[in-house]
Amino acid sequence: MKEKLIDLFDYTYHFNKEMIKIISWNLPKVNDKTISLINHTLNAQQIWNSRILGEKSFEVWQINPFEDLNDINHQNYLKSIEIIKNFDLDTIIEYQNSRGAKFENSIFEMLFQAINHSTYHRGQINSLLKQEGIEPILTDYIFYKR
């Protein structure tokens, strides 16, 4: 199970990197919503990792300096892999969401949420890129595995 989860984070890392690249190549054309969504995508993974590790987290919708996005993506990836390798994925973590509501989920559920959430927002970003006349990138998992 851990190997499969690592593979999904490899996929997530790869296509987050590709999204950052295509946005950077087309920065003058992309709108604020696109910038907001790529930041939110990376912020959310950082937040889930931080909840598991008990660290300080980003704000959900904070805008990071664009030149920092690749490093944030890389740090997110390393922390997610560290969690997978060093924690029991069935461990239940109690945390608060951004509105202060308390929840409990397993580490596996939290990590899978981070993966699924980024896939969802990459799809939204692709739609926005297409609206701006920018060729979207194919980010389906199967294309990654081919």
Condensed to tens digits (0 to 9), the pLDDT of residues 77-134 reads 999 999 999 999 999 999 999 899 999 999 999 999 999 999 999 999 999 999 999 9
Residue 121 counted as an annotated binding residue: yes
The count of C-alpha atoms lying within 13 angstroms of the C-alpha of 88, restricted to the half-sphere facing its C-beta, is 4
Residue 74 counted as an annotated binding residue: no
Q: Model's pTM, two decimal places?
A: 0.96
| Count of domains observed in the chain | 1
d(CA 65, CA 72): 10
**Residue 7: strand pairing partners:** none
| DSSP category for residue 56 | -
Q: Domain limits at 126?
A: 2-145
The pLDDT of 58-82, averaged and rounded, is 98
What pLDDT does 125 receive? 98
CATH no. for residue 82?
A: 1.20.120.450
What pLDDT does 44 receive? 98
